[in-house]
Structure 1
């Protein structure tokens, strides 16, 4: 597979000349880690511990087995695996033979998987057997007729499954001669696509983003430089390894850095707190729900986390009060702004000071460039809100569906994010929501993020999302979806009194309040606001993404 869109030749040359792209394929880092730190622990998966040498050995053997079954450089192989050691081995095996890795989040089912695997033209899939009560092998067998490129189903389950091969058998059955032939294969071109990752669904239609060896290698070295990481650090990763955060933190960063990763599959905040303390975890990146849960567990148990050097929290919906308390109680907390299309665009370190870390989304991580523009594409003044655009060495190459690229990029190569942002006088950036998060009430534009940030500090509110809903008189109205402590009710008048008491303009006060027992989220923990917007327009049938969400109470003006 070749990229559908490269950065322009001039910037590619600049990335190389300035050392941002070092033209090393990702397999270079796997081999290097096994050579430099052969006996050091690379992966902690429950009671299992794999060294760098063991991961590299099994990755080579799996790569050899795949080559024997006809897999070739440029093919796409999908894996839909939980956070487990096998996912790490699979990822590195694919890069050894120049395959495009296509992680698919485990919560996806027939509809999403059919779309992704068909568009990607996946040659093989690697899945659990039965995981959390769901039979993944049977799902792929049931849709195989719709996937004409699919030749091989591999399962990590030791129990035999009809129509699938065992991952363990593939690794065990190759010969030393076959492994040596794989070792001798040419290394991939660092500009080749190595990762096809679909956006995680905060919009209705996932899009396949393409990354190269060079973009991902720079991204990981950028994290090491920004946060001064060393091989003495221990990475904790509860984010799905099939999401861009998990791909980088769990599958790639340990091998660039020489430090272990501690995996957690099923999120349990108390289990996470215990693992962090027992393993001495020092570095982690995750979304707001993980941070909130970890803080709650620390409050409830009274346990401290002295090993934590950095908690990096991503996503625009991070209340200031949450970051401030977590920073004081858990360890240094800083925000990070990025996406599948550009994993770390802005952040802040200890050197930037607590105010920038706690009350902004950080500074632009050079050499990435970020500009904020108005609707006509002109840069706005400091303090003014506009759309954030970025470009840099870790910016993706484009979408698999090339028809999306003209709209996604400016002529000068900036990615149009759809995020609303403003810069402050210190150079800190503030992500204030999505363009679609604006409520157009009688022509007046209201930021949903501003309302969420205030309402999140109500003592009974655990989580909140505000979206635009239809209104026959004003066109749109603010609709607040709130999760409350112990599902207590939260009447509209109480919301109104609370917000006005905090100095919020009356026009910004939501006119609908939905008390729910949970909010629909992506696998990485981001709220699927499109599902909430859909629900405000059609309440007769809850959207699929809200199938597990029950509405406790509804209050409307």
Structure 2
């Protein structure tokens, strides 16, 4: 798989000259860690402990098995796994064989999987057995006829059915047994991938109906993690705590890549439980974590309920939602330094503040650019807006992605000279700190997971009781934002949350995409050109009793919320 939008030769030369691109494949860092610190702790998964040498040995065996099954450079290996040690081993095995890792968030179901697995041309996918009460092997058996290139589904845990040929599912242990007698020799003989080769395919939902496949190379992924090491002064004495999904860009970096560049362990947590998180942080001496604001809210509540502290924590880095001043104040006394970071799957670390920045910059801005990444706020005319003036954020840097798998999306997303159009509205202040003020993109940012409302609207429009529909982001104390559906019904029949939930579930939509608020209205507000005024709906949600209701020009007939 080649990049669809490689950087210009001038930019590539600049990144190499500055040492941002180190021209070393991701797998080289596991080899270095295993050779330098073989007995040092690398992964903590509940009661399981793995050293760097053990991760290297298991990843080598799995890489040999992948090779035996015909996986080589440019092949896509997908995985829809929770935060388990097997996900770390698998990612590193994919890097060793020179293939492309394709993490898939566990919430995706048939509707999303058919599209992304078909577009990615996945040959092998790794999934859990039953997870959170859901049967993944059964899901993939039903998808089999729609994915002709999918040869095998490897099951981590119970659920594989190898009895009826041609079998689609195979157990993890059975797959590993195909590694051969000497996996080390097999893997050592494989050619190293080009550091500019794509190594990560990660789908992100935006304003379009379908997810967008983001491409990263070894060089962009390695720089991304070294930029965090440099900004936050991380070293081998740190312990990373990672509750973010390993199938999300934050989890990919913090759990699958960063530990092996740093020589420091990662403590995994799967199901979010704030009290358990506190025990794992204190029990393992965790010092660094990146997660969204709702995680911070829950962790602080657990600390306050236990009248405890987390003395080992050096950094809690938050992104994806505002950090209320009261939350920052309370966290500072219990959890140490809280700071912000801004980025996206297309460029994970664009701006950030470190512990030495003034409190106002750390928690009331999104920080300053991580050089040599360049950031501008566009004035809309090809220039840069002055401080204090809102505009769209554009950036380019060594961790900017190499485009989308569907290269038709690139022209709209990138300028000819390599700037990524973020769709986010922001301003710079007089100190050079960035302040994100809103989004052009029409998405719901639910606990850091960006959900396309276009997709949900299209499917809701198929419901026989729905005449018109608009879905917008509304405030939510727990997740930051929730999907709110405004519906004009086609008749006198009632429409409830249960109705639209059942409708979307029947179409195999991820649970997190299903609206949590339903407002049945007599009309939707339109512009003179016939477009729905979603800004009026968002204003109404922020102030239901105030002037926004009049501005929206609608009467709410029924409200259903949970």
TM-score scaled by length of structure 2: 0.81
Alpha-carbon distance in structure 2 between the residues aligned to 1:385 and 1:284: 30
Residues 1:254 and 2:221 are matched in the alignment? no
Residues 1:401 and 2:406 are matched in the alignment? yes
Shift of 1:204: 4.9
Residues 1:192 and 2:197 are matched in the alignment? yes
Distance 1:403 1:482, change over 3 A: closer
Q: Please point out which of 289, 294, 298 is paired with 1:293.
A: 298
Mean alpha-carbon deviation: is it higher for 26-35 or for 318-327? 318-327
Distance 1:549 1:437, change over 3 A: closer
Distance 1:481 1:219, change over 3 A: closer
Shift of 1:137: 1.4
Does the 8 Å contact 1:196/1:211 carry over to 2? yes
Residues 1:363 and 2:368 are matched in the alignment? yes
Alpha-carbon distance in structure 1 between the residues aligned to 2:24 and 2:250: 21
Find the counterpart in structure 1 of residue 416 from structure 2: 411
Mean alpha-carbon deviation: is it higher for 372-381 or for 399-408? 372-381
Alpha-carbon distance in structure 1 between the residues aligned to 2:488 and 2:215: 34
Please list the CA deviations of residues 447-500 of structure 1 after superposition, one character each: whole Å capped at 9, or x if unmatched.
x99xxxxxxxxxxxxxxxxx9xxxxxxxxx99884556xxxxxxxxxxxxxxxx
Q: Please point out which of 224, 228, 241 is paired with 1:223.
A: 228
Show the 5 A alignment for 1:39-54. Answer: 39-54=39-54
Residues 1:331 and 2:336 are matched in the alignment? yes
Alpha-carbon distance in structure 2 between the residues aligned to 1:286 and 1:537: 37
Alpha-carbon distance in structure 1 between the residues aligned to 2:376 and 2:515: 39
SS at structure 2 position matched to 1:12:
helix
Shift of 1:203: 6.5
Does the 8 Å contact 1:158/1:168 carry over to 2? no
Residues 1:275 and 2:280 are matched in the alignment? yes
Alpha-carbon distance in structure 2 between the residues aligned to 1:50 and 1:535: 50
Shift of 1:14: 1.0
Root-mean-square deviation (CA, aligned residues, Å) is 2.7
Find the counterpart in structure 2 of residue 238 from structure 1: 243
Mean alpha-carbon deviation: is it higher for 9-18 or for 320-329? 320-329
Alpha-carbon distance in structure 2 between the residues aligned to 1:479 and 1:139: 30
Residues 1:14 and 2:19 are matched in the alignment? no
Alpha-carbon distance in structure 2 between the residues aligned to 1:179 and 1:21: 28
Find the counterpart in structure 1 of residue 36 from structure 2: 36
Find the counterpart in structure 2 of residue 90 from structure 1: 90
Distance 1:389 1:483, change over 3 A: closer
Shift of 1:278: 0.8
Unmatched 5+ residue regions in structure 1? 439-447, 450-466, 468-476, 485-517, 520-525
SS at structure 2 position matched to 1:197:
strand
Show the 5 A alignment for 1:47-446. Answer: 47-158=47-158, 160-162=160-162, 163=167, 164-200=169-205, 204-436=209-441
Shift of 1:328: 3.2
Shift of 1:78: 0.4
Alpha-carbon distance in structure 2 between the residues aligned to 1:91 and 1:140: 21
Unmatched 5+ residue regions in structure 2? 446-452, 454-469, 490-494, 505-511, 521-540, 550-562
Shift of 1:329: 2.5
Shift of 1:317: 3.3
SS at structure 2 position matched to 1:432:
strand
Alpha-carbon distance in structure 2 between the residues aligned to 1:182 and 1:120: 24
Does the 8 Å contact 1:129/1:137 carry over to 2? yes
SS at structure 2 position matched to 1:350:
coil
Shift of 1:374: 2.6
Alpha-carbon distance in structure 2 between the residues aligned to 1:479 and 1:150: 36
SS at structure 1 position matched to 2:182:
helix
Alpha-carbon distance in structure 2 between the residues aligned to 1:99 and 1:547: 34
Distance 1:258 1:95, change over 3 A: same
SS at structure 2 position matched to 1:122:
coil
